[in-house]
Amino acid sequence: MHDIDLYRRSDEGMSVALIREAFHYQSRFAGSTMVFKIDFPVTEDPAFPLLMRDLALLAQTGFRVVIVPGAKEWIDSVLGEYGIVSGYAAGNRITTAEAMPFVEMAAFHVANRFMTGLSADRVDAVIGNFVRARGLGVSGGVDMAHSGQVDKISIDSIGRILNLGAVPILPCIGWSPAGKPYNVSSDEIALAASTALGAVKLFVVSVHEGLRKGAYSLPENISIGENGRVIRMTPHEAEAVLASLHGDASALVNAGKPGDKPLAELRLALRASCAGIERVHLIDAREPGAVLRELFSNLGSGTMIYADEYESIRPLKTKDIADILRLMEPLMQQGLLIRRNAEVIQEKKEDYAVFEIDGSVHACGALHDWGESQGEIAAIATDPAYTAMGLGRRIVRYLIDRAVKQGFRRVFVLTTHTHDWFEFLGFKEAPVESLPERKRNGYNRERKSMVFALDL
Ligand SMILES: CC(C)(COP(=O)(O)OP(=O)(O)OC[C@H]1O[C@@H](n2cnc3c(N)ncnc32)[C@H](O)[C@@H]1OP(=O)(O)O)[C@@H](O)C(=O)NCCC(=O)NCCS
């Protein structure tokens, strides 16, 4: 086959894989609620209309989209224009009675930008008084005046709007039961709305490069994407990052350098995870299609903080056989793996394990018992789109654990091309004679596989 044919085949294969993945996520999440907290600078970016188009597309295809616009920078600029200087206490703006009308004007102006963006894509949107608030009162001797906190989110009203296929927009204003307006942090509104509405996801959309390797001290083994950005983190890892930078993560809710947006967002994500939001996605709006990629592919471009069991290794089920043959086929063609068919795999089904991410299989491996307390680790394969993310290593570790539990004293592998990798995992070269007799008798000398083994 010519190179160009190979290229076309793999290119088409990738598109089909992507479409398959998108369908998987569409069927999984359609009908569920997603909250988008979107920073004001996003609305000034050339990428804003495209972001709005993507959100409109989601609303039109059955996703329940809720928008919480951040308005801080616009409020600052409006207040500045009218010569009003804001003070801050414990990270919150002190909103005086004089400032409040301007804050309301700025908040609704920003909310209106989102409504206008959605109108361009013919999606109905409703800016509403969905937040009941109460004042922050006097904090550390400072009267916070019109600065408030979320008391309650009107889930019934928001639910009715969502049922109509429209998008509710929650500006950073809340009202007391007596009708007094308060300026409420959009982070707090996003957090409260996500929990009250039972959102499956909270997206935090901004215009910065986010948590990147090199810029922050990150835990080892954390998954870094091609763009250098952390792909995903458990709440535990997020906590470790915050603690390593500031000493104690629990004391950090409003602390830290005020300008450090990525860390502020990580804190918000951690709080949302702790409040039960399964997935929080931190996204840079400037990356084309960032929201769709994050939603419809498990290799999105942002950072995901996930509270559920996102990845897992589990025993093979019959329905997975087609998937692992799809993974192994190109490797069998290249002679990296020996040929197996569905019957052979079915016969030894219990030996296999798969690495599943969000319901799709992306790596596999097997442990075969050859007697004499020795197990063979075989059929290790990782989806080419998921290599160098630790999947192969974790499958091997899982199989080693299984071997220990089964009472094996040694595991071995026969390899023609991957000996360096197994050596890196602690395996040592061993003579063919060290193999259990049954395996030795079937050893294909022409294939010249090297034997690498690990004593348990
Ligand atoms: C070998 C294989 C399983 C690794 O899968 P993986 O999920 O990418 O593995 P990990 O993420 O745990 O490890 C990746 C690391 O191993 C390195 N690596 C991958 N293949 C290697 C090889 N053949 N030799 C040496 N190092 C290798 C990568 O460069 C990467 O290094 P880094 O962490 O410094 O970036 C995968 O490349 C594969 O499917 N190979 C073809 C099948 C095969 O040979 N199977 C083994 C025979 S049973």
Q: What pLDDT, in 10s, does the model give residues 434-453?
A: 999 999 998 888 888 999 99
Task: Evaluate: CB of 337 within 6 angstroms of ligand 1.
Answer: yes
List pLDDT tens digits, range 332-370: 999 889 999 999 999 999 999 999 876 789 899 999 999
70: tokens are 């951040």
Task: Evaluate: CB of 367 within 6 angstroms of ligand 1.
Answer: no
Query: What's the pLDDT score for residue 92?
Result: 85
Q: Which residues contact 450 (CB under 8 A, 6 or more apart)?
A: 414, 415, 416, 419, 429
Give me ligand 1 centre to Cα 149, in Å. Answer: 51
Give me ligand 1 centre to Cα 449, in Å. Answer: 17
Q: Which atom of ligand 1 is nearest to the CA of 389?
A: 11
Query: What's the pLDDT score for residue 248?
Result: 43
Q: Which atom of ligand 1 is nearest to the CA of 378?
A: 48
Angstrom distance (rounded) from CA 220 to CA 52: 36
Give me ligand 1 centre to Cα 421, in Å. Answer: 6
Give me ligand 1 centre to Cα 331, in Å. Answer: 12
Residue 319 DSSP label: G
Output the CA–CA distances (angstroms, integers) from residue 19 to 26, 308, 321, in the order listed: 10, 25, 20
Q: Which residues contact 210 (CB under 8 A, 6 or more apart)?
A: 229, 230, 262, 265, 282, 284, 302, 303
Query: What's the pLDDT score for residue 307?
Result: 72
H or E segment to which residue 367 belongs: strand 360-369
Q: Is 318 helix (H, G, I), strand (E, B) or coil?
A: helix
In this structure, the residue with its CA closest to atom 38 of ligand 1 is 381
Comparing 40-44, 139-143, 266-270, 397-401, which segment has the lowest mean pLDDT? 139-143
Angstrom distance (rounded) from CA 19 to CA 28: 14
Phi (first) and psi of residue 75, to 5 degrees: -60, -45
Task: Evaluate: CB of 390 within 6 angstroms of ligand 1.
Answer: yes
CA atoms within 13 A on the CB side of 144: 20
Q: Is 415 helix (H, G, I), strand (E, B) or coil?
A: strand
Calculate what percentage of the chain has a pLDDT beyond 70. Answer: 92
144: tokens are 């916070």
Whole-number average pLDDT of the chain: 88
Residue 361: strand pairing partners: 356
Q: Is 379 helix (H, G, I), strand (E, B) or coil?
A: strand
Comparing 125-139, 183-197, 233-247, which segment has the lowest mean pLDDT? 233-247
Task: Evaluate: CB of 396 within 6 angstroms of ligand 1.
Answer: no
Task: Evaluate: CB of 149 within 6 angstroms of ligand 1.
Answer: no
Per mean pLDDT, which of 49-58, 221-230, 269-278 is the most reliable?
49-58
Q: Confidence band (pLDDT; 50, 70, 90) for 427? A: very high
Mean pLDDT of 167-188: 96
Q: Which atom of ligand 1 is nearest to the CA of 363?
A: 7
List pLDDT tens digits, range 78-137: 999 999 988 888 888 999 999 999 999 999 999 999 999 999 999 999 999 999 999 998
Task: Evaluate: CB of 393 within 6 angstroms of ligand 1.
Answer: yes
DSSP state letters, 131-155: EEEEE--EETTEE-BTEEEEEEE-H
Task: Evaluate: CB of 418 within 6 angstroms of ligand 1.
Answer: yes
DSSP E strands: which ranges in 95-198? 125-127, 131-135, 138-139, 142-143, 147-153, 167-169, 173-175, 181-184
Angstrom distance (rounded) from CA 75 to CA 104: 9
Mean pLDDT of 13-37: 80
Give me ligand 1 centre to Cα 287, in Å. Answer: 29
Beta strand pairing call for 138-139 and 142-143 = antiparallel
Q: Which atom of ligand 1 is nearest to the CA of 392?
A: 7
Q: Is 290 helix (H, G, I), strand (E, B) or coil?
A: helix
Q: Is 184 helix (H, G, I), strand (E, B) or coil?
A: strand
Comparing 189-203, 230-244, 398-412, which segment has the lowest mean pLDDT? 230-244
Q: Confidence band (pLDDT; 50, 70, 90) for 16? A: confident
In this structure, the residue with its CA closest to atom 10 of ligand 1 is 390
Comparing 181-185, 252-256, 267-271, which segment has the lowest mean pLDDT? 252-256
Q: Which residues contact 285 (CB under 8 A, 6 or more apart)?
A: 38, 42, 45, 47, 48, 51, 205, 206, 207
Per-residue buried b or exposed e for 245-259, using 16+ beta carbons within 10 Å of the residue's own CB: beeebeebeebbeee
Angstrom distance (rounded) from CA 40 to CA 79: 15
Comparing 8-17, 57-66, 170-179, 439-448, which segment has the lowest mean pLDDT? 8-17
Query: What's the pLDDT score for residue 255?
Result: 37
Q: Which amino acid is at 372?
A: E
Angstrom distance (rounded) from CA 180 to CA 272: 28
Query: What's the pLDDT score for residue 394?
Result: 85
Task: Evaluate: CB of 328 within 6 angstroms of ligand 1.
Answer: no
* Pocket residue to mutate for ligand 1, from 334, 418, 449, 452, most atoms within 8 A of Cβ: 418
Mean pLDDT of 188-210: 94
302: tokens are 């942002």
Residue 328 has pLDDT above 50, yes or no: yes
Residue 167 has pLDDT above 50, yes or no: yes
Mean pLDDT of 48-77: 95
Q: CA nearest 382: which of 394, 399, 372, 371?
A: 394
Task: Evaluate: CB of 417 within 6 angstroms of ligand 1.
Answer: yes
List pLDDT tens digits, range 281-305: 999 999 988 999 888 876 677 999 9
Residue 352 and residue 379 in contact, taking contact as beta carbons nearer than 8 Å: yes
Query: What's the pLDDT score for residue 1?
Result: 38
DSSP state letters, 55-85: HHHHHHTT-EEEEEE--HHHHHHHHHHTTPP
Q: Which atom of ligand 1 is nearest to the CA of 419?
A: 24
Task: Evaluate: CB of 221 within 6 angstroms of ligand 1.
Answer: no
Residue 282 and residue 262 in contact, taking contact as beta carbons nearer than 8 Å: yes
In this structure, the residue with its CA closest to atom 42 of ligand 1 is 381
Task: Evaluate: CB of 100 within 6 angstroms of ligand 1.
Answer: no
pTM for this predicted structure: 0.67
Query: What's the pLDDT score for residue 308?
Result: 56
Q: Confidence band (pLDDT; 50, 70, 90) for 5? A: very low
* Pocket residue to mutate for ligand 1, from 220, 313, 387, 411, most atoms within 8 A of Cβ: 387
Residue 216 DSSP label: B
Degrees, nearest 5: CA angle 139-142-144: 75
